[in-house]
Amino acid sequence: MELLLKMCLVSLFFGFCCLFKSFLQRRDQCCYLLAYECYKAKEDLQLQTDTCAKIVMQNKNLGLEDFRFLLKTIVNSGIGEETSCPRNILQGREATLADSLSEMDETIFDTLDNLFARYPSVSPSQIDILVVNVSMFSPSPSLTSRIVNRYKMREDIKTFNLSGMGCSASLVAVDVVQGLFKSYEDSYALVVSTESMAPFWYCGREKSMMLTNCLFRLGGCSMLFTNRRYLKHQAILKLKTLVRTHIGSNDDAYNSCIQLEDDSGYLGFRLTKYLTKAAALALTINLQVLVPKVLPLREILRYLVESRLRKKSGTKSQNLEVVGVGLNMKAGIEHFCIHPGGRAIIDGIGKSLALSEYDLEPSRMALFRFGNTSAAGFWYALGYMEAKKRLKKGDRILMSGFGAGFKCNNIVWEVLRDLDDANVWESCIDSYPPHIIGNPFMEKYSWLNDECLNFVRIDFSKILA
């Protein structure tokens, strides 16, 4: 009897130890954001109205109707006059390999230098994991190797290069880090997110491929993460939920956002009319997984009842603007960091989730000031929230975006302390938001719409020479 009692006690003790070990392992799988740094280009790289017009009009492949299309697009783009682009585009020449590498080095090294200066307690030699996402440019040696060489990082560092992942790639990179944190305890991880513009300026005249020239601009961000729980008091954000959705098996969705050559052989990025439907489908599937994780039960039940009634009444959700109608995301989320990829995407997600102009302001301002900086765009919007002192301890932030392939990725963060750093917005935050979000393109170039030009042959390349 005594032996049996001892065996039971030993078994209970062993079971308790296993449970406690499992608890400690799960506890150490947290993902904390310690710091981040966004890239701010030099003033000589700014793409102001006249400079932009000069670059466009130097393209002898374009005709009057093409210029009118571009004028309408850029006027309605939501982009201002202080965005930036690579030097070779400003100079009107094709990019060399040296131009592409220079663009990457300037963006990546600038943000990393500032990041290590901001968080001096972590040196490059202490980094355990390095993830770089650049969709359009993949040199050899890799960009992670260039970083390892520049900062003389350890021989056992785990490096990963993500390419072709599109505008939500930085969220994919965070997911990679979160997964690795489950296997590597007490680790530091760097995520570097940027995009290569230098070699990919589209010189053709296909309208669906001209859009990228109007929207994409120079930018990037570097982030420092850890799973060391004792550093929680130093962290600014904690990863709560991450949901990834990939609908690449759908041919229309796969081809809605794709890099290819046009009929004249010019390489570019085509955005098709199916893009909004692909975004709606991906967002709907993603929300089905995300919503139960972030919203209270009473809100979920209310939404299910309203959805059932809506189906009975015959109302259908056919596009991005009406997906999720009736869903109150504010019941579980305080701040919304929509990817600033374009005004249509911001407006669409805003309507589908019933967000106010206050909620959309950070994304609109990031688009206006910096343009579509691809996967780094989320962090410019986050920086705006922080600079405006919106983020308070306990608040939750939703980062939501789409990527080529076609993907929808959403992350929910928890704010761990009140945040008020002006960061990349320091020099201009007091002037935001402006009274009018616009640019002077129509004011300066409305003459392109004059019907008299239909009967005149003009060499536009010489107008702004």
| Domain boundaries defined on the chain | 31-310+321-448
Q: Given 3.30.360.10, 3.30.499.10, 3.40.47.10, 3.40.50.970, which CATH number is that of 31-310+321-448?
A: 3.40.47.10
For strands 396-403 and 335-338, give the pairing: parallel
| DSSP secondary structure string for all residues of 294-349 | HS-HHHHHHHHHHHHHHHHHT----STTTTTTT--GGGT-SEEEE--S-HHHHHHH
In sequence order, what are the beta bridge partners of 412?
Answer: 241, 398
Q: Look at residue 305 in the predicted model and tell me its pLDDT.
A: 83
* The residue to which tokens 């299910």 are assigned: 304
| DSSP secondary structure string for all residues of 100-112 | HHHHHHHHHHHHH
Asked if the peptide bond before residue 141 counts as cis, ω within 30 degrees of 0, the response is yes
Q: Look at residue 3 in the predicted model and tell me its pLDDT.
A: 64
Which structure tokens are listed for 159?
């490096």
| Residues with Cβ within 8 Å of residue 158, at least 6 apart in sequence | 128, 129, 130, 180, 184
164: left (phi over 0), alpha (psi -120 to 50) or beta: left
In sequence order, what are the beta bridge partners of 60?
Answer: none
- Return the percent helix, strand and coil in the chain, to nearest 5: 50, 15, 35
Q: Look at residue 319 in the predicted model and tell me its pLDDT.
A: 47
Q: Rounded to whole angstroms, how far apart are CA atoms 158 and 169?
A: 18
> Does an H or E element contain 224, and which?
strand 220-226
For strands 129-133 and 188-194, give the pairing: parallel
Which structure tokens are listed for 424?
């990349």
> Does an H or E element contain 151, and which?
helix 143-151
For strands 396-403 and 220-226, give the pairing: unpaired
Q: Look at residue 13 in the predicted model and tell me its pLDDT.
A: 64
Q: What are phi and psi of 362, to 5 degrees?
A: -60, -40
CA proximity to 402, closest of 291, 201, 244, 259: 244
CB 214 within 8 A of CB 366: no
What's the chain's length in residues?
Answer: 465
In the chain, which residues have pLDDT < 70? 1-11, 13-28, 314-325, 455-456, 458-465
Q: Look at residue 321 in the predicted model and tell me its pLDDT.
A: 45
CB 246 within 8 A of CB 254: no
Q: Look at residue 15 in the predicted model and tell me its pLDDT.
A: 62
| DSSP secondary structure string for all residues of 392-459 | -TT-EEEEEEEETTTEEEEEEEEE-S-----GGGTTTGGG-S-SS---THHHHHGGGG-GGGGG----
